[in-house]
């Protein structure tokens, strides 16, 4: 395993972590090769003070966050009152939606689990441009660019974030160190739980830009053991015409298992 450049280490350190070992993981490429796609995977292990990274150039490159932005959107919404609490019900308008699971009422947990776009668009509209801009800057979320409209900027507008920045953001959320109330962070963490085992809890969110000039698939999150984040991760890939939702999870889980995290 080759050591990465000191400049990359400095960049990672700038995300809020203490100086840590940074290791290149070219062997992880075979997981992407098996699906015929190109991608990056960033894994930060806070207890070991170690980053493991596949494709550092892509890890540094910013992409539309798509539905991974629901994490920040929900945090801000809870902080400013655009989401009252985990029990507030967002009512379906009765119109057909592109995903069957979106055709119904939703709460924070179900809206995050089913990645309900219309619900989080409503959250963003309630928050408004001024408050959203302020919080994007306070959270140091990507490039802070809100061009494209208050309910579209993370889907097809100007917002961009890198895999490295995702990891820094998620690490702070996992440890409750974001500059907002513990209540908001606790409720969002709860909405991100996708798996509970005997010894671990997996928190994760997907995001997809299916077409356009720069299609991308994301899977981001962290694994917790004994109440502490064992590893925070961010993966993105450039999907091909036959890439499926399951392909992304198979790649990501395969790497986490190989890394000894799952």
Domains present along the chain, CATH in parentheses: 6-258 (3.40.710.10)
Catalytic residue, candidates 5, 7, 67, 147: 67
Encode pLDDT of 72-104 as tens digits: 999 999 999 999 999 999 999 999 999 999 999
Q: Is 67 a catalytic residue?
A: yes
Encode pLDDT of 110-168 as tens digits: 999 999 999 999 999 999 999 999 999 999 999 999 999 999 999 999 999 999 999 99
* pTM for the predicted model, two decimal places: 0.92
* 3 state SS of 197: coil
Encode pLDDT of 215-252 as tens digits: 999 999 999 999 999 999 999 999 999 999 999 999 99
Let me know: does 154 contact 139? Beta carbons within 8 Å. no
pLDDT exceeds cutoff 60 at 11: no
* 3 state SS of 175: coil
63, two tokens: 């992409």
DSSP string of 52-119?
EEE-HHHHHSEE--GGGGHHHHHHHHHHHTSS--TTPPBPP-SS--SSGGGSS-B-HHHHHHTT-HHH
Helix H or strand E segment including 184:
helix 182-191
How far apart, in whole angstroms, are the C-alpha atoms of residue 117 and residue 97? 10
């Amino acid at each position: 395993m080759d050591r990465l450049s000191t400049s990359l280490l400095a960049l990672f350190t700038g995300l809020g972590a203490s100086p840590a070992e940074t290791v290149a993981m070219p062997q992880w490429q075979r997981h992407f090769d098996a699906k015929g796609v190109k991608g990056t995977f960033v894994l930060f292990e806070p207890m070991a003070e170690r980053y493991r990274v596949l494709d550092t150039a892509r890890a540094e490159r910013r992409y539309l966050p798509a539905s991974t932005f629901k994490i920040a959107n929900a945090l801000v919404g809870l902080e400013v009152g655009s989401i009252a609490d985990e029990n507030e019900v967002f009512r379906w308008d009765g119109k057909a939606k592109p995903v069957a699971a979106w055709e119904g009422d939703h709460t924070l947990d179900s809206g995050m689990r089913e990645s309900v776009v219309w619900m989080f668009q409503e959250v963003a509209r309630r928050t408004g441009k001024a408050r959203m801009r302020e919080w994007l800057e306070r959270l140091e979320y990507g490039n802070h660019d809100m061009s494209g409209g208050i309910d579209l900027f993370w889907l097809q507008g100007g917002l961009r974030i890198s895999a490295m920045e995702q990891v820094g953001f998620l690490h702070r959320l996992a440890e409750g160190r974001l500059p907002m109330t513990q209540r908001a962070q606790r409720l969002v963490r709860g909405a991100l739980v996708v798996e509970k085992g005997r010894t671990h809890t997996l928190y994760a969110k997907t995001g997809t830009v299916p077409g356009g000039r720069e299609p991308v698939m994301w899977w981001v999150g962290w694994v917790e053991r004994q109440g502490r984040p064992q590893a925070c991760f961010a993966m993105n890939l450039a999907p091909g015409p036959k890439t499926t939702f399951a392909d992304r999870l198979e790649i990501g889980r395969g790497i986490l298992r190989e890394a000894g995290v799952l």
